[in-house]
Amino acid sequence: MRQTIRMNWGIVALLLVMWGLLTIRIGAPWFGHHDANGVVFMTTARNYSLYGASELRLLPLLNYEIPAKPENYNFYLHHPPMISWLLALAGVPFMLTEASSRWVIICATMISLASLYVLSRRLLGQKRTMLVMILYSFTPMIAYFGRMPNHEPLVMAFLMPFFAIYAQYLRYPTRTRWFALAILAILAMWTAWAAIFFFIALIFFGVIYRVETRLIKMITNWRKLFDLYALGLVVILATIAVPLFYEAQYPGAIQKLLDALVFRTSNIGGSRGAPTFTIFEYIFRQLIHMATMMTLFVVVMGLIGIKPLLKQSRLTRTMTWGMLAGGLGFLIFFRNASYIHDYYKYYLMPAFSIMACLGVIWTWRLRRVWWSKSAMLGLLLTSSLFATLIFVGAHITGEDPFQMGVALAIRANTTVEDDIITNLIFQSPAIAFYAERQIVYAFSPEKALEYAKSTRRRLIYIYCLDPLTDELSQLELMPIVNGDCYLIQIKGSDA
């Protein structure tokens, strides 16, 4: 009894520490590592409040300029809309800010942590649960990306409770649990496409669990498996419903989704994706992402944990293999996106934290190799130091006064009717977000002057970090950002 109480207090303390880590710089502007995701989804949420959900037909609108004209609406339909809806709803009572947007995701991460506690207790027992929680939580993947407004941490608020309930359902199926699983599956599918990979894998391994590897019973005993097949049908219908909803509101949406699907499942380079890569480059990049954001300790111990996992209960093997297959399936299928996005490995964390726990215990008890404990502790120390540097570095580099200065200068000295171009090569959605303007990048002075001949609108040129040309020096110059840039009106409006 006392041990259980101590364990529960330990979990509470861990959750409090995680809340503290996740809320660091909760109101910081969107200039940090992969904070472009925050820009995208806060923009879609902001546009609901600006133009109304009925005007937008509940579709996520990704227009940075305020106000946006209906003929220029740019709907963001490559992903399910749940995150945009939730951020918009959170902005109603609290006012939509960077803090309120991150707060939604932090709450989702806390739900997933609590659910992982329940899941690991059911799979490994009370004593090992704390180790699983530590291995999962104190990684840059969770401590940093667990606050990022994006699909990964949000969908885990639905997937992790699904895992916990599903583990119990396989042993003790009830109608209440089935409906809970169905509701969570629908919510997850309207949050992230990745969810379907977990559902396919877990339902498949759940069927194997029921028939005890006698695959012929998957057909002959279909009545006993009807509940799992029905759950799979719910997943399929929920998945199909998303593009059908988009198409009903915006004809042509399905074709755009298919185009994005073809691109994201390829190894072809493009302006929005990864450079063209080989299978060896892909594998190497995934391992680098895993070692840095999941920590090398969790990765190595997770791989070692495969051996002791084989000796665990059938339920533990079923759930762990299912979660691992779901995460790997998503990364391999969407290989173009996973090649450049380190946070896609978020989906490997549940399975790897459980396997790493088993790997740590197995290594600690290993007597045949006298140096195993020392090697494991050395790896833990090295990985912890490296993870701390990554976590702290991600926060330190999350401020960018230069970009913010450019954005504020544009917002103060231009209107939405202006054409705004810049010589800056890097396309920063954060500048457009805070400027509340549409900005076109990579315009050389020669190209800008040539463009002025064809536009009828007032043309504003943001010229930064390069020496002034003779042609530009003859125009009216407004120094901005401590003189690092100039705001130049190349042409007035013809209206």
- Structural domains of the chain ordered from first start: 2-394 (no CATH), 401-491 (3.40.190)
CB–CB of 342/149 below 8 Å? no
pLDDT in tens, 170-223: 999 999 999 999 999 999 999 999 999 999 999 999 999 988 766 566 666 667
For residue 182, what are its two tokens?
């169905």
* The pLDDT of residue 468: 93
What are the pLDDT tens digits along the chain (495 aa)?
Answer: 566 666 688 899 999 999 999 999 999 999 999 999 999 999 999 999 999 999 999 999 999 999 999 999 999 999 999 999 999 999 988 899 999 999 999 999 999 999 999 999 999 999 999 999 999 999 999 999 999 999 999 999 999 999 999 999 999 999 999 999 999 999 999 999 999 999 999 999 999 998 876 656 666 666 789 999 999 999 999 999 999 999 999 999 999 999 888 888 877 665 555 678 899 999 999 999 999 999 999 999 999 999 999 999 999 999 999 999 999 999 999 999 999 999 999 999 999 999 999 999 999 999 888 888 999 999 999 999 999 999 999 999 888 999 999 999 999 999 999 999 999 998 889 999 999 999 999 999 999 999 999 999 999 999 999 999 999 999 989 999 998 899 999 987 765
Distance CA 96, CA 93 (A): 9
Which stretches of 26-95 are DSSP H helices?
Answer: 36-51, 53-56, 82-94
Q: Which residues make Cβ contacts (< 8 Å) with residue 231, sequence separation at least 6?
A: 178, 181, 182, 185, 199, 203
Per the DSSP assignment, residues forming a β-bridge with 440 are: 421
Q: Which amino acid is at 387?
A: A
Long-range contacts of 385-391 (CB under 8 A, 24+ apart): 386/292, 386/295, 386/296, 387/138, 387/139, 387/140, 387/295, 390/140, 390/144, 390/292, 390/293, 391/21, 391/140, 391/143, 391/144
* The pLDDT of residue 206: 96
Cα-Cα-Cα-Cα dihedral sign, residues 91, 25, 188, 245: positive
CB–CB of 153/147 below 8 Å? yes
Cα-Cα-Cα-Cα dihedral sign, residues 454, 458, 461, 462: negative
Q: Which residues make Cβ contacts (< 8 Å) with residue 74, sequence separation at least 6?
A: 61, 62, 63
Say whether 50 sits in a helix, a strand or coil: helix
Instruction: Output Rg (C-alpha) for the chain, integer angstroms.
Output: 25
> Residue 102: phi, psi to the nearest 5?
-70, -35
Q: Which amino acid is at 424?
A: L
* The pLDDT of residue 211: 84
What single-letter DSSP state applies at residue 75?
B
What single-letter DSSP state applies at residue 291?
I
CB-count exposure of residue 431 (10 Å: 0-12, 13-18, 19+) = buried
3-state helix, strand, coil in the chain (%, to 5): 65, 5, 30
pTM: 0.92
Cα-Cα-Cα-Cα dihedral sign, residues 424, 256, 41, 434: positive
pLDDT in tens, 63-107: 999 999 999 999 999 999 999 999 999 998 889 999 999 999 999
Per the DSSP assignment, residues forming a β-bridge with 420 are: 439, 460
* The pLDDT of residue 444: 95
Per the DSSP assignment, residues forming a β-bridge with 488 are: 461, 477
DSSP string, 342-391: GGGGGGGHHHHHHHHHHHHHHHHH--SSTTHHHHHHHHHHHHHHHHHHHH
* The pLDDT of residue 410: 97
